[in-house]
Chains A and B, each alone.
Chain A
């Protein structure tokens, strides 16, 4: 240590562009995505048609919005199992208020979002103040929220067909054509939010705190980082994005079903981890999550096009998760061995 040059021996100046690219957590998922597109297109060329891509992208965004927020939450070392139930609950609240004539649609939207934020706040406080693992807290929250949605509606979907003339509905799920490609507003929202979330995580002070909170909470706390506040804010963000996604979905399919979103929490977490974000916190990537979202979406779409029964979808997703985890573990080991 007294000889500076001896310290540097382990650190060659340039690792080489290729090696650095391979070391990135997004590399594996990106290769898989490209390979998938190639295989599907070779087997069935309609896979790459504008129509099919447009369709696939439309349905992408609703889960994708939740995945963006989940990426930040998981980077901070927590996760949220209640997003699927909030996805179902928020639109039920919004349409119930609107249909009862209590308030105009934008006001009902704001109320639904505020309730979602309150749900996130509650989960966050439970996890941080009582020190209960987020798995248990958000599992409880999942049941409470889903149960409330079912109880309030007696299990019946809420009417949403007055949505057509609403500017809010236009803004959230309206569509337009770019050349031959039909683009939905929700896709635009997803792209804008993905860019913002990426910048937020990698380029801001709060993003630095998110990574530190998940990476080494003790060190973050010792540096004066408010790790509890960081987590609470991210739980609120996650619930808000789940609510927004649920509302967009309810307008698109013209139904607010208290049961919708069931099981989405696992699919969202799958998207995030396939993209390279670590379940235990500290390392997260929005770019990876966007790739993960596309992988799951195109897989669902592609296996049907190439004639594999849709019911087999979960087999592929499960295999991808296992394969990706093995790959990340192998890269991690090699990385550690190299230092």
Chain B
């Protein structure tokens, strides 16, 4: 890991510890993300995947450790720290506001305004949103003023990913983006993830379904009971069975 120069390394998490009261959710976790790679983060329920990415996106405080983005230490004490560092996290159920329009969701927290009173530039927001929808291929007949609540699950993921791409985040984190999606919609999400990489974004991709992960990632990191137990599995050299054994810990006894 250490032989990568800091220019290639986007994220470096070192010796991260996190406890929720008595629950030791992360133990001495080290994770490196390079520029332009898609990393699959795997592990059984409760392994600590969500906690790890919440730490990385400033959503929960960590107990100790160090986080560097492009070589620079970042305190990561709030989601704003992560946004400023170019990290965009798409949580399964808390990515978008169902009552707000597509355009308002795309620009939430970074609204386009005119003048000093914080007046929204809705025309421009809708224009850009329509453009963006066209680019990700869900433009037809969906006006940018449509509330998110009336979109399908796949369309919502597409909007969330489009947002991350529009704001040119260096790292896009997806926590279980394919849960509850149909086959076609899942393929759509995977296509967006590849598109994001092809345009230079790094991705952390968490999914229950190993087949989804295998289709899209460059490298796999496996967590078990709060620690990283493997961080350089490749879908080219490992089989699904191999990876499943690492996830459950069966490979130790083999």
Question: Which residues in A have some Cβ–Cβ distance to B below 8 Å?
Answer: 1-8, 10-13, 203-209, 211-212, 214-216, 218-225, 282-283, 335, 339
Residues of A close to B146: CB separation below 8 A: 11
B188 within 8 Å of A (CB atoms): yes
Set A1, A214, A215, A218: member contacting B185, Cβ < 8 A: A1
Q: What CA separation (Å) do A216 and B147 show in the bound complex?
A: 13
With A8-B138, A11-B141, A212-B104 already in contact, 7 other A-B pairs whose C-beta atoms are closer than 8 Å: A1-B187, A2-B184, A211-B104, A216-B94, A216-B98, A225-B108, A339-B150
Q: Is the CB of A215 within 8 A of B120?
A: no
Within 8 A of A (CB), among B147-184: 150-152, 154-155, 158, 184
Q: What CA separation (Å) do A2 and B109 show in the bound complex?
A: 30
Q: Is the CB of B97 within 8 A of A10?
A: no
Among residues of A, the one whose C-beta sits closest to the C-beta of B83 is: A224
Which 3 interchain pairs have the tightest Cβ spacing?
A1-B188, A218-B94, A223-B109
Q: What CA separation (Å) do A154 and B95 show in the bound complex?
A: 53
Set A1, A12, A207, A221: member contacting B158, Cβ < 8 A: A1
Set A6, A11, A12, A203: member contacting B122, Cβ < 8 A: A203
Interface centre among B79, B110, B154 (most CB of A within 10 A): B79
Set A215, A335, A339: member contacting B97, Cβ < 8 A: A215
Residues of A close to B111: CB separation below 8 A: 205, 208
Knowing A205-B111, A205-B118, A219-B95, the reply to whether A212 touches B100 (Cβ < 8 A) is yes
Among residues of A, the one whose C-beta sits closest to the C-beta of B112 is: A205
B80 within 8 Å of A (CB atoms): yes
Among residues of A, the one whose C-beta sits closest to the C-beta of B146 is: A11
Knowing A203-B120, A204-B120, the reply to whether A2 touches B187 (Cβ < 8 A) is yes
Chain B interface residue count, Cβ-Cβ cutoff 8 angstroms:
47
Interface centre among A2, A212, A216 (most CB of B within 10 A): A216
B214 within 8 Å of A (CB atoms): no
Q: Is the CB of B187 within 8 A of A212?
A: no
Interface centre among B89, B155, B186, B189 (most CB of A within 10 A): B155
Q: Is the CB of B108 within 8 A of A8?
A: no
Residue pairs across A and B with Cβ atoms less than 8 A apart, 9 shown, are A1-B154, A4-B137, A5-B140, A211-B97, A219-B96, A222-B89, A224-B79, A224-B80, A224-B109
Q: Is the CB of A10 within 8 A of B109?
A: no
Residues of A close to B191: CB separation below 8 A: 1-2
Residues of A close to B155: CB separation below 8 A: 7
Residues of A close to B113: CB separation below 8 A: 204-205
Residues of A close to B91: CB separation below 8 A: 218-219, 222
Set B108, B117, B142: member contacting A208, Cβ < 8 A: B108
B64 within 8 Å of A (CB atoms): no
B31 within 8 Å of A (CB atoms): no
